[in-house]
């Protein structure tokens, strides 16, 4: 029999195999949770992170990696205020203490169109998008999908552009043909507000809606995800940017990262993207915002370490294969803090959080068998059940 993989992450030990082994037995009693292999949900395309200089190195190792793109903002000469930013720094906020040179009188309000919406500008900006795709291809990098605007309802101190759904529809009518000529998909996003009506306006447009291949959500957009997924169960959903924290890279935030992954996958996400691959200790970005990262670098010592969030993401990205199906679970006794996936090779990945201060014995029903394991106190764990131990029941057992 193939060995059962079992890994745990705690605050004191970021990656280890617990001493108590995993057991697999015929199902003779109800488990704590049923893994519903008979009801597979969305297909998982994969996991990712923001593409930067390190992304080029990643492609050298994995040329099959796919890249999607969304601009922070159009060229300033296309914008109403002729500036890269739409908000002046707030002197009370540490995150915005750097002067971006924007006169407060030239700020652009959220909920308005920051682009100059003339036919000339809309056409030029769509062609500008095309030139961006072409330039990357000339350097051997194919961008497979684009979203028209990052956080289109946020006036930021850094490069940004606010749009209304109506303004985006006008632009998408130009952008989609440019991308179709290049074989590039178009999603709507990125969506950072909890207002599903913005998505519905785009999808309802008879010209644009049928051409939208999916929707990307991040930050408070997560609260709109359940409604969009319920209304459009066949529409692809991407989590486009995990909330980037405060630069502490602590266990508290890693536990929060788990809740974000659980929220998105249980509500239809097929992709989960992280933000910063690597930052210096403290994580201060170019805009003065301390952020978390997968790798934390100490430039003075010349060392680097893997963060807690690296390991939390690894609990899924290290074992869930592209093409896997998310599998819902059912519990009558509150064992719901878990995620399950059925890989193309037949193996089943079960990840769970034990948020208790004592070890927790967890029993999950997979097919006709019970899989039992003990999650250490305050931990996140992953169990990979090999395909030969997985039998999809002919009918639901619960």
How does pLDDT run across 188-198, given as a tens digit for each residue? 999 999 999 99
Structure tokens belonging to residue 306: 């893997």
Q: Which pLDDT band holds residue 303 (cuts at 50, 70, 90)? A: very high
Mean pLDDT of the 158-177 span: 98
Residues 95 and 131 in one domain: yes
Q: How many domains does the chain have?
A: 2
Pair (232, 336) in one structural domain: no
Per-residue confidence (pLDDT) for residue 396, from 0 to 100: 46
Q: Which of 287, 319, 351 is the last residue of a domain?
A: 319
Residues 138 and 212 in one domain: yes
CA distance 320 to 46: 8
Q: Say what the pLDDT of residue 261 is.
A: 99
| pLDDT tens-digit series, residues 81-103 | 999 999 988 777 665 567 889 99
Mean pLDDT within 147-170: 96
Tell me if residue 271 falls in helix, strand or coil.
strand
Cα distances from 151 to residues 100, 147, 188, 362, in angstroms, run 19, 10, 11, 39
Secondary structure letter of residue 384 according to DSSP = E
Q: Kindly state the percentage of the chain with pLDDT values over 90.
A: 86
CATH number where 67 lies: 3.20.20.80
pLDDT tier, 394 (very low <50, low <70, confident <90, very high otherwise): low
Give residue 62's pLDDT: 87
Q: What is the pLDDT of residue 99?
A: 83
Q: Which of 112-121, 246-255, 277-286 has the lowest mean pLDDT?
A: 277-286
Residues 179 and 314 reside in one and the same domain: yes
pLDDT score recorded for residue 210: 98
242 and 313 inside one domain = yes
Higher pLDDT, 202 or 101: 202
Structure tokens at 163: 């749009």
- Domain co-membership, 258 together with 110: yes
SS3 147: coil
207-210 long-range Cβ contacts below 8 angstroms, 24+ apart: 207/173, 208/169, 208/172, 208/173, 208/176
Q: How many CA atoms within 13 Å lie on the side-chain side of 354? A: 21
The H or E element containing residue 199 is helix 196-204
Q: Verify that 270 and 376 share a domain, yes or no.
A: no
Long-range CB pairs of 211-215, under 8 A, 24+ apart, other chains included: 211/172, 211/176, 211/180, 211/186, 212/172, 212/186, 212/187, 212/188, 213/145, 213/185, 213/186, 213/187, 214/145, 214/185, 214/187, 214/188, 214/238, 214/270, 215/187, 215/188, 215/189, 215/191
Dihedral angle, C-alpha 101, 107, 111, 114, nearest 10 °: -70
Calculate the CA 130 to chain-centre distance.
25
Range of the domain at 279: 46-319
163 and 273 inside one domain: yes
Q: What is the pTM of this model?
A: 0.95
Mean pLDDT of 249-257: 98
User: Over the stretch 51-77, which tens digit does the pLDDT of each residue have?
Assistant: 777 777 888 888 888 999 999 999 999
């Amino acid at each position: 029999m193939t060995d059962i993989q079992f890994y745990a992450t705690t605050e004191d030990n970021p990656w280890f195999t617990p001493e108590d082994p995993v057991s697999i037995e015929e199902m003779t009693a109800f488990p704590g949770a049923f893994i519903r292999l008979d009801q597979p949900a969305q297909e998982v395309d994969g996991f990712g992170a923001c593409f930067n200089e390190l992304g080029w190195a990643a492609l050298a190792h994995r040329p099959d990696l796919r890249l999607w793109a969304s601009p922070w903002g159009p060229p300033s000469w296309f914008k109403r205020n002729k500036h890269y930013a739409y908000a002046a720094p707030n002197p009370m906020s540490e995150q915005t203490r750097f002067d971006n040179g924007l006169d407060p009188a030239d700020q652009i309000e959220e909920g308005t169109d920051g682009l100059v919406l003339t036919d000339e500008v809309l056409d030029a900006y769509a062609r500008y998008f095309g030139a961006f795709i072409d330039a990357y291809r000339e350097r051997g990098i194919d961008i497979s999908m684009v979203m028209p605007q990052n956080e289109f309802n946020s006036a930021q101190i850094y490069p940004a552009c606010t749009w209304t759904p109506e303004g985006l529809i006008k632009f998408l009518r130009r952008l989609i043909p440019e991308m179709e000529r290049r074989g590039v998909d178009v999603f709507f996003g990125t969506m950072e507000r909890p207002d599903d009506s913005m998505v519905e306006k785009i999808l309802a447009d008879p010209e644009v809606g049928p051409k939208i291949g999916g929707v990307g959500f991040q930050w408070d957009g997560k609260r709109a995800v359940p409604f969009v997924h319920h209304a459009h169960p066949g529409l692809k959903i991407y989590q486009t940017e995990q909330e980037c924290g405060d630069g502490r890279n602590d266990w508290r935030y890693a536990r929060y990262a788990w809740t974000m992954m659980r929220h998105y996958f249980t509500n239809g996400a097929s992709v989960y993207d992280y933000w910063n691959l690597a930052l210096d200790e403290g994580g201060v970005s170019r805009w003065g915002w301390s952020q978390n990262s997968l790798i934390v670098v100490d430039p003075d010592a010349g060392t680097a370490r893997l963060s807690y969030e690296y390991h939390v993401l690894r609990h899924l990205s290290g074992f869930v294969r592209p093409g896997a199906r998310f599998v819902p679970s059912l519990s009558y006794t509150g064992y719901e803090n878990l995620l399950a996936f059925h890989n193309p090779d037949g193996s089943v990945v079960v990840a769970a959080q034990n948020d208790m201060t004592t070890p927790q014995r967890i029993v999950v029903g997979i097919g006709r068998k019970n899989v039992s394991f003990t999650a250490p106190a305050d931990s996140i764990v992953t169990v990979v059940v090999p395909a030969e131990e997985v039998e999809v029941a002919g009918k639901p057992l619960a």
